[in-house]
Structure 1
């Protein structure tokens, strides 16, 4: 069957169309996305601005038209931290449903971590052993750890690259004191939860998912996306530590010229790099392997599991 996942994230609204059935890996058939950067469209009260809501409604409606055109039988719509934590989140959800007919399921942060972990486990298999999974989104950082298909420990922290950029790095390039303050803040937030994971033992395999990790790996020398899904891509902590001070002195326009960095994500790259560096350091991870599957694939896999058990 043809399924669609509509992901209203903190950076993009992304419709992923896959051909899937229980027992088989989902095959991507079409991808439609629009960069809204909702995490950066909050007003002083923490609400998504009126113009942002207008844009979201139009974007969801367009995504549903695309889903129909592509022959999608079932769309799985969900929203993550930007809508979940917005002061007017309930009003936004009600308006989206009223004007588009789409009822967005709002995922809790821990559920984001669990579903991402499921996708990573299915990608690498049981032979990967104990997994530590890091996912930097626009609004939050998800961390999962465990031996099974769902993590034994999972947390979501308000350390998304878009959120931190909008709230803490106003300059272009940012002021050195702002970068230092953000570095301190990020490390304190992650440091509070490290013990919850380290008490479970050292991971056998550390994995990074999300656009931020893919871009950081690419500028550090990993293979291009055009080389295919099955090429191994890694990010070394040493390479990341060399890149962070360089990124801090660059304008967004300069970062956008780096290999694999899109213009829309360039401004957020420094904040994402600071989060990635802190997580790898505090969890004592020398190398992360990059996984092409993440939250959207986890939502699809859970749907297929439910179908196969019914």
Structure 2
């Protein structure tokens, strides 16, 4: 069988999630279905020590529906786990038995450390962490899993009773949140962190978070900033954004929180406790950046299952943003030789402009990425392929890039031909003024370099660049008649001139006598 299908089910304190993937012979997988249902399985658990009958009934109903979906996809294997609520409840074992009898799912109740291990698997798979000391965390309804790591090497894993449902039921019983209750909540979180990590303050370069609280924060922040992305996976949140968001949520009633843009209304009653945990984590460890892992434990289950089936290497091979881009572009059957050459020429021009226009490694990476993928739109159709490139890149799962960076790359590639950026271009105008200028500048470089390889034969071997006042001098070095490429560069230099406020002076070598 060419493709194999696997499913993972995560029975949490607040929600139940199932994911179905299809795997090819090389261990590459794609998501076929991703289902999430908020069931509040842990509702009232702190008071009674047991799972409530109504909560169990909601969970059985949700699992029955998800099992039917999984069966419909004819999966090869299912890995189903239950976490904090079932682990803690006195009737947890009975509930697991009931699921097996009524739904036909075998459930493995995992420890907090196993939860942490799954969250780490997902983080290592999705982020370039080479040489970075970081803290990975997954916040659920009942517990908070924490993993300290250097690169892809785990140092230690811990599980704390700091889940959003548990904290809400324990401390936040008024509406709106009473100030005294909120102070007690913060004091409790700080004490728990201090007891566990007394000597770790300020030792991490970034946090990587997963779970409904983290994705909700990202969704609310992007809504507030009027940013629109298909996925917030990889989104980077600043501490200031978390602080600002939390200050507003604490003052609101539950009804007002339910109307907050970007927030699932069903999560409104527990969101204050969850965001407070994130805020305290960032404050305690003095970390300013939080990277959002939209996938988390359920993806960790898939990765663990694939390794058990020997479909993934036991040792994780390091992924890079460049290899991810080439893999995506090859799946679109791009002209690799042409795109690699455009990227080479683009970087040569970039180097001549970088210092004056204060462009660094980040801008260089965006330019190279857009250069490599500028023509992927051919995969759909030649006509308007620059627009197709925009949409393909925007929806691509590119390793190592934030949603904002994917949007920038897509726009840069979009302007490699045809019309210049205009006010009527909705995708371009959604960007900030700063980002619009960056897209125009980098798009202008890709645009002229596409003209420099007009016949796709690499005849222009290099570009000697010299910036002199308000003029950028480009001397094309070629091994044959380069008259076509010279014409192409002069025709497609319009955006570069406009964006950098420069004049172009383009000359060819003597071998372009064919002009």
**Normalising to structure 1: TM-score of the pair?**
0.91
3-state SS of the aligned residue for 1:97?
Answer: helix
Q: Which of 59, 72, 77 is 2:80 aligned to?
A: 77
Give the match for residue 10 of structure 1: 13
Give the match for residue 278 of structure 2: 276
3-state SS of the aligned residue for 1:44?
Answer: helix
Give the match for residue 236 of structure 1: 238
Deviation at 1:219, TM superposition (A): 2.4
Q: Which of 274, 287, 290 is 1:288 aligned to?
A: 290
Aligned partners of 1:182 and 1:124: how far apart in 2? 32
Give the match for residue 208 of structure 1: 209
Query: In the alignment, is residue 109 of structure 1 matched against residue 133 of structure 2?
Result: no
Classify 1:46/1:250 alpha carbon distance in 2 versus 1 (closer, same or farther; 3 Å): same
Query: In the alignment, is residue 259 of structure 1 matched against residue 261 of structure 2?
Result: yes
Higher RCO (CA < 8 A, seq sep 6+): 1
**Higher mean Cα deviation, 230-239 or 297-306?**
230-239
Aligned partners of 2:91 and 2:262: how far apart in 1? 34
Query: In the alignment, is residue 61 of structure 1 matched against residue 50 of structure 2?
Result: no
Give the match for residue 38 of structure 1: 41
Give the match for residue 182 of structure 1: 185
Aligned partners of 1:238 and 1:191: how far apart in 2? 22
Aligned partners of 2:226 and 2:117: how far apart in 1? 28
Give the match for residue 250 of structure 2: 248
Q: Is the 1:118–1:149 Cα contact (8 Å) retained in structure 2?
A: no
Classify 1:22/1:130 alpha carbon distance in 2 versus 1 (closer, same or farther; 3 Å): farther
Q: Is the 2:43–2:55 Cα contact (8 Å) retained in structure 1?
A: no
Aligned partners of 1:262 and 1:230: how far apart in 2? 15
**Higher mean Cα deviation, 32-41 or 10-19?**
32-41
Aligned partners of 1:67 and 1:294: how far apart in 2? 20
Give the number of aligned pairs.
Answer: 308
Query: In the alignment, is residue 52 of structure 1 matched against residue 90 of structure 2?
Result: no
Aligned partners of 1:225 and 1:281: how far apart in 2? 26
Aligned partners of 2:139 and 2:233: how far apart in 1? 21
Q: Is the 1:118–1:150 Cα contact (8 Å) retained in structure 2?
A: no
Aligned partners of 1:48 and 1:41: how far apart in 2? 7
Larger radius of gyration: 2
Classify 1:284/1:196 alpha carbon distance in 2 versus 1 (closer, same or farther; 3 Å): same
Classify 1:107/1:23 alpha carbon distance in 2 versus 1 (closer, same or farther; 3 Å): farther
Deviation at 1:125, TM superposition (A): 3.3
3-state SS of the aligned residue for 1:39?
Answer: coil
Give the match for residue 423 of structure 2: none
1:154-173 aligned within 5 A: 154-173=157-176
Aligned partners of 1:173 and 1:240: how far apart in 2? 19
Flag structure 2 segments of 5+ consecutive residues without an equivalent.
Answer: 315-515
Aligned partners of 2:232 and 2:176: how far apart in 1? 35
**Normalising to structure 2: TM-score of the pair?**
0.56
Deviation at 1:164, TM superposition (A): 1.1
Note the alpha carbon deviations across 1:18-61, whole angstroms, 9 max, x for none. 11247544311112222111122427321001222222222222
* TM-align CA RMSD: 2.4
Q: Is the 2:219–2:262 Cα contact (8 Å) retained in structure 1?
A: yes
Q: Is the 1:6–1:76 Cα contact (8 Å) retained in structure 2?
A: yes
Aligned partners of 1:22 and 1:28: how far apart in 2? 16
Query: In the alignment, is residue 99 of structure 1 matched against residue 102 of structure 2?
Result: yes
Deviation at 1:150, TM superposition (A): 5.7
3-state SS of the aligned residue for 2:50?
Answer: coil
Aligned partners of 1:296 and 1:150: how far apart in 2? 21
3-state SS of the aligned residue for 1:27?
Answer: strand
Flag structure 1 segments of 5+ consecutive residues without an equivalent.
Answer: none
Classify 1:74/1:202 alpha carbon distance in 2 versus 1 (closer, same or farther; 3 Å): same
Note the alpha carbon deviations across 1:96-126, whole angstroms, 9 max, x for none. 2222222211111011111101110111135
Classify 1:21/1:10 alpha carbon distance in 2 versus 1 (closer, same or farther; 3 Å): farther
**Higher mean Cα deviation, 282-291 or 215-224?**
215-224
